[in-house]
Amino acid sequence: MTRLPDPARRSLLQVGSLVLLLGPHHIARGASVLAVRIWPADDYTRVTIESDAQLVSRSSFVDNPPRLAVDIEGLDLLPGLRDLVAQLRSDDPNIGGIRVAQFAPNVVRLVIDLKQAMQPEVFSLPPVAAYQHRLVLDLRPVNPPDPLEQLIAQRMRDLDDASARAARLLGLETQGSGVTVTPERAGRPDPLGELIARQESSGGAARGTPPARTEPPVAAAPVPPVSRPAAPSAKARERARTERLIVIALDPGHGGEDPGAIGPGGTHEKKVVLQIAHKLRDRINATTVNGNPMRAFMTRDADFFVPLQVRVAKAQRVQADLFISLHADAFYSPRPQGASIYALSTRGASSAAARWMADKENAADLVGGINVRARDATVQRALLDMSTTAQINDSLKLGNSMLGEVKRVGKLHKPRVEQANFAVLRAPDIPSVLVETAFISNPDEEKRLNDPKYQNDLADALMRGIVRYFEANPPLARNRQI
């Protein structure tokens, strides 16, 4: 990738008067464009051009205003096809516009106007699964969203919603006041608020320049002097040390270019597991265990692809207490049925089926598509870290607690927690399980996965399992004390 000097920038802006819109049926010399797709998300936006032969491209990037130009060789445009631009959404957080022109004979120039500073990646993917050759443009913000900041933002939105509901009940007018006061903010300790304060005072420097605040902090009311209370008992001190926010990372599998398994009726795994994850998230956010409030963090909350190692890194960034990856099973035959729960094993799989399942899930990056050359070497090494025995034992405890509840709402494929070397379960410090909610390849279970009642029942069962686990295994104190 090269950055253009000023004269080249002017040339880029004068790309000719013939501006045509690229669609999936353009004819290429030596190749046919089969499909074009755009996957927008706050994390990054992906543009994919799929063809029946490998496309040769050159890319250049202009800083101000930010835009990416990609010259694709061997293509001649046909007018009147607008699929790529038609797919561009006005609320795309990263792309402001798309232009395509016949830049030279047999060369098409694709220009993408960007909404913010970007670190674009342009790479090719060989045929895999249902896809043929893909030219991929990943548009990643220079300052990407921080998972911890996202968790904080979610918490603040919840508090604002609670404030609005309280105001409506009390008949108070809060619009335009600029100050939101809720019983939770005013009178009760906020463990996530304490985590925010610690992040701002110590964590920001380690990560580089912290994101700008959108509003000034609200000063705490002065506390009047009071007489010193009697010293708390040993039991009270112990409780004060261990009560704190519990963060649970929910990981809806697949997404974006990777649909996951596809049922006989056309249901995509990535869609139903995201729906179930949203339902489970709402239950987690409304639950307290032994005085410990809970908060869910989702590795993806929309339809976009997240590489396996990034899912693990996000969970570690928010210091998650648990990691729960949600999937829907599939097999060559429609007969298998029932839910399964898996934990990590570093010494071989507990069964041939578990090994096959791990191999299938670990191949998600091949289907979703990652730029292997650009992967950070440190991240690659981190993926190879072996989880501790304690983490695996805790994962088995969590899996057994959840399995005992899941069997109440449907069939189990296996009556015990299976184990295999799943890449997404390798966080060495977080108890992690992978839940196969049902066999989407079974027509009856595909219907159940699309049924809101079953999704709610399954989310309830998983929530009960989480609560059972924490009742028997209180969270470690760490640094999120109340």
Task: Tell me the per-residue pLDDT of 426-444, one tens digit each, with 9 for 90 and over.
Answer: 888 899 999 999 999 999 9
Six token digits for residue 292: 């410990």
pLDDT of the residue at 475: 82
For the entire predicted model, the pTM comes to 0.74
Distance CA 342, CA 325 (A): 10
The DSSP code for 54 is P
Distance CA 475, CA 243 (A): 8
The DSSP code for 318 is T
pLDDT of the residue at 402: 97
pLDDT of the residue at 215: 45
Q: Which phi-psi region, left, alpha or beta, contains residue 64 (left: φ > 0; alpha: ψ -120 to 50)?
A: beta
pLDDT of the residue at 480: 46
CB under 8 Å to 181, separation ≥6 — which residues? 163
Task: Give Cα separations from 244 to 89, 199, 295, 425, 474 (angstroms).
Answer: 40, 16, 11, 24, 10
CB under 8 Å to 177, separation ≥6 — which residues? none
pLDDT of the residue at 196: 58
pLDDT of the residue at 65: 92
Segments of the chain scoring below 50 in pLDDT: 9-28, 79-81, 174-187, 204-221, 223-224, 226-229, 236-242, 377-387, 479-482
pLDDT of the residue at 193: 59
With beta carbons less than 8 A apart as the criterion, state whether 101 and 108 touch. yes
pLDDT in tens, 336-377: 899 999 999 877 777 787 777 777 777 787 777 777 555 554
CB neighbours of residue 238 within 10 Å: 12
pLDDT of the residue at 163: 76
Distance CA 466, CA 458 (A): 12
Phi, psi (degrees; rounded to nearest 5) at 204 = -60, -40
H/E element, 385: none
